[in-house]
């Protein structure tokens, strides 16, 4: 089964999503709504198009991806820049620059953020409250 990448971007108070090269676009207030809306949009597109874009022919699954700025802004109510700095090792001021779009992180910085989030996720998943 092939994977079709859905790009999710921060759009002010909402999120937007699209599939590159496919005439499908959607918005939503959170990641769950984006996923639901995109799945519905793809389904409607396939129903209405006897000759769909090659990305949507055959069996595929949607993979939702967000860029660093979108992640930092969307989850700003959960993760402070100080907290992200501690788990990623990236300077807090630099994280602010990434969130504001002043600078785009290099691949190495993006990987550090990804690794920090994955490490935290694993740690939180292993916790059982009493």
pTM of the model: 0.81
Task: Per residue of the chain (130 residues), give pLDDT as tens.
Answer: 899 999 999 888 899 999 999 999 999 999 999 999 999 999 999 999 889 999 999 999 999 999 899 999 888 888 899 999 999 999 999 999 999 989 999 999 999 999 999 999 999 999 999 9
**Measured between alpha carbons, how far is 19 from 23 in angstroms, rounded to an integer?**
8
**Measured between alpha carbons, how far is 29 from 63 in angstroms, rounded to an integer?**
18
Domain 2-66: CATH superfamily is TTHA1013-like (3.30.2390.10)
The residue among 54, 95, 37, 38 whose CA lies nearest residue 71 is: 95
């Amino acid at each position: 089964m092939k994977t079709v990448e859905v790009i999710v971007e921060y759009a002010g108070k909402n999120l937007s999503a699209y599939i590159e090269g496919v005439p499908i676009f959607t918005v939503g207030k959170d990641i769950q709504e984006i996923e639901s809306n995109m799945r519905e949009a793809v389904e409607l597109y396939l129903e209405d198009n006897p000759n769909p874009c090659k990305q949507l022919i055959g069996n595929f699954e949607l993979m939702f991806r967000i860029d660093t700025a979108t992640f930092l802004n969307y989850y700003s109510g959960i993760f402070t820049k100080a907290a992200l700095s501690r788990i990623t090792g990236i300077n807090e001021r630099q994280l602010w620059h990434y969130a504001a779009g002043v600078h785009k992180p290099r691949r190495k910085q993006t990987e550090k953020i990804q690794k920090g989030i994955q490490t935290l996720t694993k740690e939180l998943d292993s916790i059982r409250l009493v």
